[in-house]
Amino acid sequence: MDAAKLKTEFLEYLEIEKGRSLKTIENYDRYISRYLGWSKVKKPKDITEESVREFRLWLNRQPGGSGESMKRRTQNYYLIALRAFLKYIRKRGIETLSSEKIELAKVPERDLDLISPADLERLMHAPEGEHLQALRDRAILELLFSTGLRVSELASLNRDINLDRDELSVRGKGEKVRVVFLSKSAKEAVSRYIKKRTDIDDALFIQLGKNAKTRDDLRLTPRSIERLVKQYALKAGISKKVTPHVIRHSFATDLLENGADLRSVQALLGHASVTTTQVYTHVTDKHLREVHERFHGKKRK
Please report, for the domain that includes residue 17, its CATH number.
1.10.150.130
List the one residue out of 153, 183, 191 whose CA is nearest residue 169: 153
Q: Is 148 a domain residue?
A: yes
Cα separation, 13 vs 163, in Å, equals 38
| pLDDT confidence of residue 108 | 64
Count of C-beta atoms within a 10 Å radius of residue 176: 11
Same domain, 193 and 44: no
Domain CATH number, residue 145? 1.10.443.10
Cα separation, 301 vs 296, in Å, equals 12
| pLDDT confidence of residue 73 | 83
Q: Is 22 a domain residue?
A: yes
pLDDT over 70 at 187, yes or no: yes
Q: Which residues are designated catalytic?
A: 150, 173, 245, 248, 271, 280
Pick the last residue of a domain from 69, 101, 133: 101
| pLDDT confidence of residue 298 | 67
Q: Is 281 a domain residue?
A: yes
Same domain, 196 and 75: no
> Considering its fold, how many domains does the chain have in total?
2
Range of the domain at 92: 3-101
pLDDT confidence tier of residue 190, bands split at 50, 70 and 90: very high
Same domain, 208 and 283: yes
The string over 106-138, giving b where at least 16 C-beta atoms fall within 10 Å of a residue's C-beta and e elsewhere, is eeeeeeeebbeeebbebbbebbeeeebebbbbb
Q: Are 244 and 154 in contact (CB under 8 A)?
A: yes
Same domain, 160 and 232: yes
256 CA to centre of own chain: 19
| pLDDT confidence of residue 228 | 94
Same domain, 76 and 196: no
Q: Are 180 and 278 in contact (CB under 8 A)?
A: no
Q: Is 56 a domain residue?
A: yes
Same domain, 7 and 142: no
Pick the last residue of a domain from 101, 135, 167: 101
Residue 81, phi then psi, degrees to nearest 5: -65, -45
Same domain, 220 and 254: yes
Same domain, 64 and 202: no
Same domain, 44 and 138: no
Same domain, 131 and 268: yes
Cα separation, 58 vs 40, in Å, equals 14
- Cα Dmax for the chain: 76
Same domain, 35 and 9: yes
List the one residue out of 85, 279, 249, 268 whose CA is nearest residue 176: 268
pLDDT over 70 at 282, yes or no: no
Q: Is 109 a domain residue?
A: no
Q: Is 299 a domain residue?
A: no
Asked whether the CA dihedral 92, 31, 276, 155 is positive or negative, the reply is negative
pLDDT over 60 at 174, yes or no: yes
| pLDDT confidence of residue 65 | 65
Same domain, 273 and 131: yes
Question: Over the stretch 58-110, which tens digit does the pLDDT of each residue have?
Answer: 988 888 766 677 888 888 899 999 999 999 999 999 999 898 988 887 766 56
Pick the last residue of a domain from 101, 126, 153: 101
Q: Is 211 a domain residue?
A: yes
Radius of gyration of the chain from its Cα atoms, rounded to whole angstroms: 23
Q: Is 298 a domain residue?
A: no
